[in-house]
Structure 1
Amino acid sequence: MTSPRERLAGQQAELLKALLAGGDAPAGFDADRLRIEANVLRNKQSRLAAYLRPDLAEALGDRFAALFREYATSHPKTDAIRARAYADTFGTWLVERGEVPKPRGRFTSWLRRI
Protein backbone atom coordinates (compact mmCIF):
# COMPACT_ATOMS: atom_id res chain seq x y z
CA MET A 1 0.00 0.00 0.00
CA THR A 2 1.31 3.44 -0.85
CA SER A 3 1.19 6.42 1.43
CA PRO A 4 -0.72 9.60 0.54
CA ARG A 5 2.64 11.32 0.01
CA GLU A 6 3.73 8.65 -2.47
CA ARG A 7 0.42 8.87 -4.33
CA LEU A 8 0.73 12.65 -4.54
CA ALA A 9 4.30 12.37 -5.82
CA GLY A 10 3.11 9.94 -8.50
CA GLN A 11 0.29 12.27 -9.54
CA GLN A 12 2.69 15.20 -9.71
CA ALA A 13 5.06 13.17 -11.88
CA GLU A 14 2.18 12.34 -14.26
CA LEU A 15 1.23 16.00 -14.47
CA LEU A 16 4.81 17.06 -15.21
CA LYS A 17 5.10 14.38 -17.87
CA ALA A 18 1.91 15.69 -19.49
CA LEU A 19 3.13 19.29 -19.34
CA LEU A 20 6.76 18.83 -20.30
CA ALA A 21 7.12 15.56 -22.18
CA GLY A 22 3.94 15.13 -24.18
CA GLY A 23 2.43 12.56 -21.82
CA ASP A 24 -1.27 11.85 -21.45
CA ALA A 25 -3.38 14.04 -19.20
CA PRO A 26 -3.73 12.53 -15.74
CA ALA A 27 -7.19 11.59 -14.47
CA GLY A 28 -9.18 14.64 -13.47
CA PHE A 29 -7.36 17.06 -15.81
CA ASP A 30 -8.71 18.56 -19.00
CA ALA A 31 -6.43 17.37 -21.82
CA ASP A 32 -7.06 20.44 -23.99
CA ARG A 33 -6.19 22.84 -21.19
CA LEU A 34 -3.05 20.89 -20.34
CA ARG A 35 -2.01 20.98 -23.99
CA ILE A 36 -2.44 24.77 -24.02
CA GLU A 37 -0.40 25.12 -20.82
CA ALA A 38 2.29 22.79 -22.19
CA ASN A 39 2.58 25.01 -25.27
CA VAL A 40 2.89 28.10 -23.09
CA LEU A 41 5.64 26.46 -21.03
CA ARG A 42 7.57 25.30 -24.11
CA ASN A 43 7.32 28.75 -25.67
CA LYS A 44 8.62 30.31 -22.46
CA GLN A 45 11.52 27.82 -22.37
CA SER A 46 12.23 28.53 -26.04
CA ARG A 47 12.38 32.29 -25.47
CA LEU A 48 14.68 31.81 -22.50
CA ALA A 49 16.97 29.49 -24.48
CA ALA A 50 17.09 32.03 -27.33
CA TYR A 51 17.97 34.76 -24.82
CA LEU A 52 20.70 32.64 -23.21
CA ARG A 53 22.05 31.35 -26.52
CA PRO A 54 21.53 34.08 -29.11
CA ASP A 55 24.15 32.38 -31.29
CA LEU A 56 21.84 29.40 -31.72
CA ALA A 57 18.77 31.53 -32.33
CA GLU A 58 20.63 33.52 -34.97
CA ALA A 59 22.13 30.45 -36.66
CA LEU A 60 18.78 28.64 -36.82
CA GLY A 61 16.52 31.58 -37.59
CA ASP A 62 12.93 30.43 -38.11
CA ARG A 63 13.90 26.81 -37.38
CA PHE A 64 14.86 27.60 -33.77
CA ALA A 65 11.39 27.24 -32.23
CA ALA A 66 10.54 23.96 -33.97
CA LEU A 67 13.90 22.40 -33.14
CA PHE A 68 13.70 23.57 -29.54
CA ARG A 69 10.21 22.09 -29.24
CA GLU A 70 11.48 18.75 -30.57
CA TYR A 71 14.39 18.83 -28.13
CA ALA A 72 12.30 19.90 -25.13
CA THR A 73 9.70 17.20 -25.76
CA SER A 74 12.28 14.43 -25.91
CA HIS A 75 14.53 15.95 -23.19
CA PRO A 76 12.23 17.56 -20.62
CA LYS A 77 13.88 20.05 -18.30
CA THR A 78 14.03 18.99 -14.68
CA ASP A 79 14.73 20.99 -11.56
CA ALA A 80 18.19 19.38 -11.49
CA ILE A 81 19.39 21.43 -14.48
CA ARG A 82 19.69 25.20 -14.59
CA ALA A 83 18.35 27.17 -17.54
CA ARG A 84 21.78 28.04 -18.99
CA ALA A 85 22.94 24.42 -18.80
CA TYR A 86 19.69 23.33 -20.46
CA ALA A 87 20.25 25.81 -23.29
CA ASP A 88 23.81 24.52 -23.63
CA THR A 89 22.66 20.90 -23.83
CA PHE A 90 20.23 22.00 -26.53
CA GLY A 91 23.22 23.46 -28.37
CA THR A 92 25.15 20.21 -27.99
CA TRP A 93 22.14 18.29 -29.31
CA LEU A 94 22.00 20.60 -32.34
CA VAL A 95 25.71 20.09 -33.08
CA GLU A 96 25.38 16.30 -32.74
CA ARG A 97 22.47 16.31 -35.21
CA GLY A 98 24.37 18.51 -37.67
CA GLU A 99 21.86 21.37 -37.38
CA VAL A 100 24.60 23.88 -36.50
CA PRO A 101 28.37 23.69 -36.90
CA LYS A 102 30.57 23.11 -33.89
CA PRO A 103 31.20 26.61 -32.53
CA ARG A 104 34.53 28.37 -32.34
CA GLY A 105 35.41 31.12 -29.93
CA ARG A 106 33.43 32.37 -26.98
CA PHE A 107 30.74 29.65 -26.87
CA THR A 108 33.04 26.64 -27.02
CA SER A 109 33.12 25.94 -23.27
CA TRP A 110 29.67 24.29 -23.37
CA LEU A 111 30.91 21.82 -25.98
CA ARG A 112 33.65 20.22 -23.92
CA ARG A 113 31.57 17.04 -23.68
CA ILE A 114 31.71 16.40 -27.43
Structure 2
Amino acid sequence: MPDRSPEPPIDAREALGRAQAELVAALVAGGEAPEGFDVERLRIQETALISKRRGVVARLRPDLVVLLGGDLAAEFDGYARGRPKPRGGSRADAADFAAWLAAKGLPPPGREPESPGREPEKPGREPGNAEPVRARRRPWFRRGLR
Protein backbone atom coordinates (compact mmCIF):
# COMPACT_ATOMS: atom_id res chain seq x y z
CA MET A 1 0.00 0.00 0.00
CA PRO A 2 1.48 3.36 -1.00
CA ASP A 3 2.41 5.85 1.66
CA ARG A 4 -0.18 8.52 2.08
CA SER A 5 1.18 11.89 2.93
CA PRO A 6 -0.77 13.94 5.37
CA GLU A 7 -3.19 16.53 4.04
CA PRO A 8 -1.48 19.82 3.26
CA PRO A 9 -2.08 22.51 5.85
CA ILE A 10 -5.00 24.85 5.27
CA ASP A 11 -2.60 27.75 4.66
CA ALA A 12 -0.95 25.84 1.81
CA ARG A 13 -4.32 25.14 0.22
CA GLU A 14 -5.31 28.78 0.51
CA ALA A 15 -1.99 29.86 -1.00
CA LEU A 16 -2.44 27.42 -3.89
CA GLY A 17 -5.99 28.67 -4.43
CA ARG A 18 -4.79 32.27 -4.54
CA ALA A 19 -1.98 31.37 -6.96
CA GLN A 20 -4.41 29.53 -9.24
CA ALA A 21 -6.85 32.45 -9.18
CA GLU A 22 -4.02 34.85 -10.09
CA LEU A 23 -2.99 32.59 -12.97
CA VAL A 24 -6.53 32.33 -14.32
CA ALA A 25 -6.95 36.11 -13.99
CA ALA A 26 -3.72 36.63 -15.93
CA LEU A 27 -4.88 34.28 -18.70
CA VAL A 28 -8.49 35.33 -19.18
CA ALA A 29 -9.12 38.61 -17.39
CA GLY A 30 -6.06 40.72 -18.16
CA GLY A 31 -4.61 40.35 -14.67
CA GLU A 32 -0.97 40.72 -13.76
CA ALA A 33 1.28 37.71 -14.25
CA PRO A 34 1.79 35.84 -10.97
CA GLU A 35 5.25 35.80 -9.50
CA GLY A 36 7.45 33.14 -11.06
CA PHE A 37 5.65 33.00 -14.41
CA ASP A 38 7.08 34.12 -17.73
CA VAL A 39 5.03 37.16 -18.76
CA GLU A 40 5.60 36.57 -22.47
CA ARG A 41 4.43 32.95 -22.32
CA LEU A 42 1.31 33.97 -20.43
CA ARG A 43 0.51 36.59 -23.10
CA ILE A 44 0.99 33.96 -25.83
CA GLN A 45 -1.43 31.64 -24.03
CA GLU A 46 -3.89 34.48 -23.46
CA THR A 47 -3.81 35.24 -27.20
CA ALA A 48 -4.41 31.56 -28.00
CA LEU A 49 -7.41 31.43 -25.65
CA ILE A 50 -8.87 34.58 -27.24
CA SER A 51 -8.36 33.06 -30.69
CA LYS A 52 -10.22 29.94 -29.59
CA ARG A 53 -13.11 32.05 -28.28
CA ARG A 54 -13.15 34.04 -31.52
CA GLY A 55 -13.45 30.83 -33.54
CA VAL A 56 -16.42 29.65 -31.51
CA VAL A 57 -18.14 33.04 -31.77
CA ALA A 58 -17.52 33.03 -35.53
CA ARG A 59 -19.23 29.64 -35.83
CA LEU A 60 -22.17 30.81 -33.73
CA ARG A 61 -22.52 34.21 -35.43
CA PRO A 62 -21.44 33.98 -39.09
CA ASP A 63 -23.29 37.25 -39.69
CA LEU A 64 -20.65 39.02 -37.60
CA VAL A 65 -17.90 37.39 -39.66
CA VAL A 66 -19.49 38.75 -42.83
CA LEU A 67 -20.09 42.14 -41.23
CA LEU A 68 -16.53 42.57 -39.96
CA GLY A 69 -14.60 40.66 -42.61
CA GLY A 70 -10.88 41.05 -42.03
CA ASP A 71 -11.46 43.22 -38.96
CA LEU A 72 -13.01 40.38 -36.95
CA ALA A 73 -9.75 39.39 -35.24
CA ALA A 74 -8.88 42.95 -34.20
CA GLU A 75 -12.41 43.75 -33.03
CA PHE A 76 -12.79 40.51 -31.09
CA ASP A 77 -9.35 41.02 -29.54
CA GLY A 78 -10.43 44.47 -28.39
CA TYR A 79 -13.60 43.00 -26.92
CA ALA A 80 -12.11 39.91 -25.27
CA ARG A 81 -8.77 41.10 -23.91
CA GLY A 82 -9.24 41.67 -20.21
CA ARG A 83 -12.81 40.35 -20.30
CA PRO A 84 -13.43 36.77 -19.16
CA LYS A 85 -15.96 34.60 -20.96
CA PRO A 86 -19.43 35.28 -19.51
CA ARG A 87 -21.23 32.73 -17.36
CA GLY A 88 -23.66 31.83 -20.13
CA GLY A 89 -20.90 30.20 -22.16
CA SER A 90 -20.13 30.67 -25.83
CA ARG A 91 -23.63 31.78 -26.83
CA ALA A 92 -23.56 34.50 -24.18
CA ASP A 93 -20.06 35.45 -25.35
CA ALA A 94 -21.33 35.81 -28.93
CA ALA A 95 -24.30 37.89 -27.77
CA ASP A 96 -22.07 40.10 -25.60
CA PHE A 97 -19.69 40.62 -28.53
CA ALA A 98 -22.60 41.60 -30.80
CA ALA A 99 -23.85 44.04 -28.12
CA TRP A 100 -20.33 45.44 -27.73
CA LEU A 101 -20.17 46.00 -31.49
CA ALA A 102 -23.62 47.62 -31.45
CA ALA A 103 -22.47 49.99 -28.70
CA LYS A 104 -19.61 50.99 -31.00
CA GLY A 105 -22.11 51.54 -33.82
CA LEU A 106 -20.69 48.79 -36.04
CA PRO A 107 -23.71 46.72 -37.09
CA PRO A 108 -25.60 48.23 -40.04
CA PRO A 109 -28.77 50.14 -39.17
CA GLY A 110 -31.80 47.93 -38.62
CA ARG A 111 -29.75 44.83 -37.84
CA GLU A 112 -30.74 43.45 -34.47
CA PRO A 113 -28.29 41.10 -32.74
CA GLU A 114 -29.53 37.52 -32.56
CA SER A 115 -31.10 36.51 -29.30
CA PRO A 116 -28.69 34.44 -27.18
CA GLY A 117 -31.54 32.08 -26.27
CA ARG A 118 -32.44 31.29 -29.87
CA GLU A 119 -31.17 27.93 -31.00
CA PRO A 120 -29.84 28.05 -34.57
CA GLU A 121 -31.36 25.63 -37.04
CA LYS A 122 -29.50 22.33 -37.12
CA PRO A 123 -28.62 20.81 -40.45
CA GLY A 124 -30.69 17.76 -41.24
CA ARG A 125 -33.66 18.85 -39.16
CA GLU A 126 -36.84 20.47 -40.31
CA PRO A 127 -37.85 23.64 -38.45
CA GLY A 128 -40.01 22.79 -35.44
CA ASN A 129 -39.30 19.08 -35.73
CA ALA A 130 -36.98 17.21 -33.39
CA GLU A 131 -36.66 14.24 -35.76
CA PRO A 132 -33.89 14.25 -38.36
CA VAL A 133 -34.97 14.45 -41.96
CA ARG A 134 -34.85 10.95 -43.40
CA ALA A 135 -32.97 10.35 -46.61
CA ARG A 136 -35.33 9.95 -49.49
CA ARG A 137 -32.84 7.99 -51.55
CA ARG A 138 -31.32 4.63 -50.97
CA PRO A 139 -27.77 4.57 -49.59
CA TRP A 140 -25.12 4.91 -52.30
CA PHE A 141 -23.98 1.32 -51.87
CA ARG A 142 -27.48 -0.08 -52.53
CA ARG A 143 -28.67 2.16 -55.34
CA GLY A 144 -28.09 -0.29 -58.18
CA LEU A 145 -29.06 -3.46 -56.33
CA ARG A 146 -32.83 -3.68 -56.77
- Shorter-chain TM-score range: 0.7 to 0.9
Give the alignment partner of residue 12 of structure 2, picking from 4, 22, 37.
4
Letter in 2 for 1:88: A
Residue identity (%) = 44
Structure with more of its chain in helix, by fraction: 1
Give the alignment partner of residue 115 of structure 2, picking from 90, 109, 113.
109
Distance 1:103 1:5, change over 3 A: farther
Give a deviation string over 1:24-70, Cα, whole Å, max 9, x none. 21012111111111111111111111111111111011111111111
How far off its partner does 1:13 sit? Answer: 1.6
Q: Does the CA contact (< 8 Å) of 2:95 and 2:115 recur in 1?
A: no
Give the alignment partner of residue 59 of structure 1, picking from 53, 63, 67.
67
If asked which structure has higher relative contact order (CA below 8 Å, sep 6+), I would say 1
Cα RMSD of the aligned pairs, angstroms, is 2.1
Structure 2-normalised TM-score? 0.65
Q: Which residue of 1 aligns with 2:3?
A: none
Letter in 1 for 2:99: T
Letter in 1 for 2:26: A
Structure 1-normalised TM-score? 0.80
1:41 aligns with 2:46: no
For residues 92 and 61 of structure 2, the distance between their equivalents in structure 1, rounded to whole angstroms, comes to 10
Unaligned runs of 5+ in 1: none
Letter in 2 for 1:90: F
- Mark the structure with the bigger radius of gyration: 2
Unaligned runs of 5+ in 2: 1-9, 117-146
